[in-house]
Amino acid sequence: MTPKAIPARDRLIFAMDVPDCARARSLAEELGPSVSFYKIGLELMMSGEYFELLDWLLERDKKVFCDLKFFDIPATVGSAVRQLKDRGASFVTVHGNRSIMEAAAENKGDSLKVLGVTVLTSLDRGDLDDLGFDCDVDALVLSRAKQALESGCDGVISSGLEVPKLREFIDDKLLVVSPGIRPVDNKPAGDQKRVVTVETAFGNGVDYIVVGRPIRDAASPRAAAEAMQASIAAQFKA
C-alpha cells in the first residue's frame, strides 16, 4: 500500500468522459459529495467550454485532473503547461520522451503536478509490436517511469498490473495514477485491455485510481461512486 498522506476520498478520480459541458455539470451535480476529484480530457476540450467547466468544478471545491496528454516539440509542450499552471488544476498528463517531460516539469509552477504517461491501458503486447516497440509492457513502463523521475515529473500514469515492479524500481518517489479500473473481476473492459480491480490496484501500490464507465453508466452513478469510496476507505482503514 502507498504510504502517501492522501485523503481517502480524493483517491477516486472520476473520468468525466461525456460530450459536452452541460452533461458534465449535470453528472457532477448528480454525483454530489461522492466524488471530489474529476478528470476532464480531450473530448470535453473539443466541446469549446473546457475552461468554463474547469472553473465551475473548482468553484465547487472539486479537484481537477486535465488529461490532455501533451505531445509535441518540447518548447510547445512547455508553453502549454505554462498556460495551464495557474488555472487551478491539480494534475496534467504529458506523453513522449525525456525532453518533452523536462519541458513540462520546468514550466509547471508550484501547484500543478505533471504526470508522464507510461503505456496506455488500451495497449497490449500486440499493440506494442504494431508501434515498433521491441520490448514487453513491463520493460516499457519501467523505462518511461525512469525518464519521468529523472525529468522532474511528479508522477506517472500506469496500469495497476505493472505497479508492483514499478514500486520496486522507483519506490515511492513518484505518484502513480491508474486508469483501467473495474469494480470486480471478469467484467467487460471495453477498450481497456490491462485492467485491475479497486482492491488490487491499491494493494499493488497505486496512489489514485481513475474510473469512468463503471460509475457513469451505472443505474445510479452516485451509488456506484459511493460503493467504490467505501471499498477505498476499507483499504486504508488504520
Residue 3 within any structural domain of the chain: no
Sign of CA dihedral 154, 159, 162, 163: positive
Residue 217 within any structural domain of the chain: yes
CATH number at residue 168: 3.20.20.70
Residue 3 burial (10 A CB sphere; 0-12, 13-18, 19+): exposed
Phi/psi for 33 (5° steps) reads -75, 0
46-59: pLDDT as tens digits: 999 999 999 999 99
Residue 214 within any structural domain of the chain: yes
Q: Which domain holds residue 65?
A: 8-233
Residue 1 within any structural domain of the chain: no
Into how many domains does the chain fold?
1
31-85: pLDDT as tens digits: 999 999 999 999 999 999 999 999 999 999 999 999 999 999 999 999 999 999 9
Contacts with 25 (C-beta within 8 Å, 6 or more apart), sequence order? 53, 56
Q: What is the pLDDT of residue 130?
A: 59
Query: Residue 188 — pLDDT band, cuts 50, 70, 90?
Result: very low
Residue 160 within any structural domain of the chain: yes
Residue 238 within any structural domain of the chain: no
pLDDT over 80 at 194, yes or no = no
Question: Catalytic site residue 69?
Answer: yes
Q: Once rounded to an integer, what is the mean pLDDT over residues 175-181? A: 90
Q: What is the pLDDT of residue 180?
A: 80
Q: Once rounded to an integer, what is the mean pLDDT over residues 156-161? A: 88
Select which of 4, 63, 69, 146 is catalytic. Answer: 69
Instruction: Give the integer Cα–Cα distance in Å for 236 and 5.
Output: 10
The more confidently predicted of residues 198 and 12 is 12
pLDDT over 50 at 170, yes or no = yes
Residue 106 within any structural domain of the chain: yes
Query: Residue 190 — pLDDT band, cuts 50, 70, 90?
Result: low
Q: What is the pTM of this model?
A: 0.89
Q: Once rounded to an integer, what is the mean pLDDT over residues 211-227? A: 96
The more confidently predicted of residues 99 and 123 is 99
The more confidently predicted of residues 160 and 134 is 160
If you average pLDDT over every residue of the chain, what do you get? 88
Residue 17 within any structural domain of the chain: yes
Q: What is the pLDDT of residue 68?
A: 96
Q: What is the pLDDT of residue 138?
A: 72
103-150: pLDDT as tens digits: 999 999 999 999 999 865 554 545 445 545 555 667 777 888 999 999
